[in-house]
Structure 1
């Protein structure tokens, strides 16, 4: 176990740098259909013609339902694509992810699609916030931070929810 503050700090910095490098590495991957990485929003918005006849995977907001049209974004550029051969019926405002073949006239011939209703994002973020607050209260109630050793220590007697809330307001000096 790492005992010194310097070694703990060094390990945290190394792990954070490793995490950051994974984001950079993932962002540098180019399309490789043989490895399951198909051209997506960025590639089609930049040069749709290059990918005609090839398998693609794109996602965007449904802007029309008859015919189904989605708006695909990449940075500050957008392109409108018609989705053909779609089995499902999305509603305007839904988020549609399509796997299919790029055809002429900005048309994607769908082989598979996933529809996510717009309300699901509000639910997802709302429930995530509730969960994060609950976990935060549990952590504060059962653990304390030792500033001298830069370590978390279990409380001898866990705080109740009310004690945790009053602790957050600064009325508790237990750390």
Structure 2
């Protein structure tokens, strides 16, 4: 069985996969009838109709469809998963904040030594911003 053909495969050679089970994912482009825009890694895209979708969707929601590819630009859904459109923005923002926190922790506890091509542990670690501000306030008093 293996991994079913995906967006890249279907966009690049649709006719090859007609009648086969495929796994497609993309944003909903239209809701009546439901059409999903799938995009290949090279940037090429196409819209496919989705039959048998049991979940209510809105334009912009991201849908993953596992089903049988039909010859007329449709896929008969066997399984579907809907991801609300706003999840991506929230995920990206939280990921960026987490990345900044990890970067700060790394800078605070480690220091690069370019001449030796290594990273050494800081002892003591850099002080946090609240500690610096508190010390600045106490020095003025």
Determine if the TM-score, normalized by the shorter chain, exceeds 0.5. yes
Instruction: Tell whether the 8 Å contact from 1:137 to 1:161 is kept in structure 2 after alignment.
Output: no
CA–CA separation in structure 2 for the residues paired with 1:131 and 1:67: 39
3-state DSSP class of the match of 1:121?
helix
CA–CA separation in structure 1 for the residues paired with 2:131 and 2:19: 60
After superposition, the Cα gap between the structure-2 partners of 1:117 and 1:133, relative to the gap in structure 1 and judged at 3 Å, is same
Q: Return the match for 2:52 from 75, 85, 89.
A: 85
More helix by share: 1
Question: Per-residue displacement from partner, 1:85-121 (whole Å, max 9, x unpaired)?
Answer: 1121111011111100011321101111121222111
CA–CA separation in structure 2 for the residues paired with 1:148 and 1:164: 31
Instruction: Tell whether the 8 Å contact from 1:68 to 1:83 is kept in structure 2 after alignment.
Output: yes
Q: Structure 1 residue 38 and structure 2 residue 12: aligned? A: no
Question: Per-residue displacement from partner, 1:6-43 (whole Å, max 9, x unpaired)?
Answer: xxxxxxxxxxxxxxxxxxxxxxxxxxxx22x2111122
CA–CA separation in structure 2 for the residues paired with 1:87 and 1:95: 15
Which residue does the alignment assign to 1:118?
85
Q: Return the match for 1:158 from 99, 114, 125.
A: 125
TM-score by length of 2: 0.84
Question: Per-residue displacement from partner, 1:68-90 (whole Å, max 9, x unpaired)?
Answer: 11112223432221101112111
Q: Structure 1 residue 138 and structure 2 residue 105: aligned? A: yes
Instruction: Tell whether the 8 Å contact from 1:137 to 1:164 is kept in structure 2 after alignment.
Output: no
Measured after TM superposition, the shift of residue 163 of structure 1 is 8.6
Instruction: Map 1:28-107 onto structure 2 (within 5 A).
Output: 34-35=1-2, 37-74=3-40, 75-107=42-74
Residue ranges of structure 1 left out of the alignment (5+ in a row): 1-33, 166-175
More strand by share: 2
Larger relative contact order, structure 1 or 2 (CA cutoff 8 Å, min sep 6)? 2
Q: How many residues align?
A: 132
Worse-superposed segment, 44-53 or 86-95:
44-53
